[in-house]
Amino acid sequence: MEKKIFIGFLKDKGQRFTKERAAILQKTLSYHGHFDPESLYLKIRETGLKASRASVYRTLNLLCECGLIDKVRKTEHGTIYEYTFGHKHHDHMLCIMCGNTIEFCSEDLERLHEGLCTKQNFRGVNHTFEIRGYCKKCQKKRR
C-alpha cells in the first residue's frame, strides 16, 4: 500500500524506485512510530541492506513530501520523524526522565483546536501538543 503510493509519487515526478529507496521505505515502515535518521541508517546496515546516510536523508525528505511520514520535532540530537500514513492524528506525552513517548488521541483537543482558531480568525491546518513530565514508571524512581 505505502509502497504503491511512494512509487506512484516518484513516477509522477519522473523519479525512480531504487533498491536504496526500497530499503529505506521498508525500514521506515517497520517503526510504526517515531525514529530518527541515524537509527534508521544503522538499522539498514544491520540488516545487510545498503544505503548511505546521504540517501537516507534524501529519501526521508521525499517520504515527507508525499505524506507518508512527518517531521515531529527537532531535538538537540536531530530531527524526530514519525510514520503517520493512515494513522489517526494523535499527540504526545514525553517523559523527561526516560525519554519515552506516550501517544494519545483527544477529541476534546481537536474541538479546542477548532474553537481557538475560530476565535482568532486563524485558519488552522494542523497542530502539535506535547506534554512533558514523568511517566508512570519514572514517577516511582527517586529523583
Binding to a second copy (CB under 8 A): which residues in 102-121? 102, 104, 106, 108-109, 112-113, 115-117, 120-121
Q: Does residue 4 bind DNA (CB under 7 A)?
A: no
Q: From the list a second copy, DNA, none, which binds 139 (C-beta under 5 to 8 Å, kind-based)? A: a second copy
| Residues 5 and 11: beta-carbon distance below 8 Å | no
Q: Per CB under 8 A, which of residues 69..98 are in contact with a second copy?
A: 73-76, 93, 95-96
From the list a second copy, DNA, none, pick the one residue 108 interacts with, judged by a Cβ distance below 5 to 8 Å according to partner type. a second copy
* CB contact burial 78-91 (16+ within 10 A = b; e otherwise): eebbbbbbeeeeeb
Q: Which of 30, 32, 33, 61 binds DNA (CB under 7 A)?
A: 61
101, three cell numbers: 513517548
Measured CA to CA, the distance from residue 25 to residue 80 in angstroms comes to 16
- Stretch of 16-24, 26-34, 92-100, 123-131 lying at the interface with DNA (CB under 7 A): 16-24
Residue 78 Cα to chain centre, angstroms: 13
Helices (H), 16-77: 19-29, 37-46, 53-65
Q: Give the side-chain half-sphere CA count within 13 A for 66.
A: 20
Judged by CB, which is closer to a second copy: 3, or 58? 58
Site for a second copy, rule CB under 8 A = 73-76, 93, 95-96, 102, 104, 106, 108-109, 112-113, 115-117, 120-136, 139
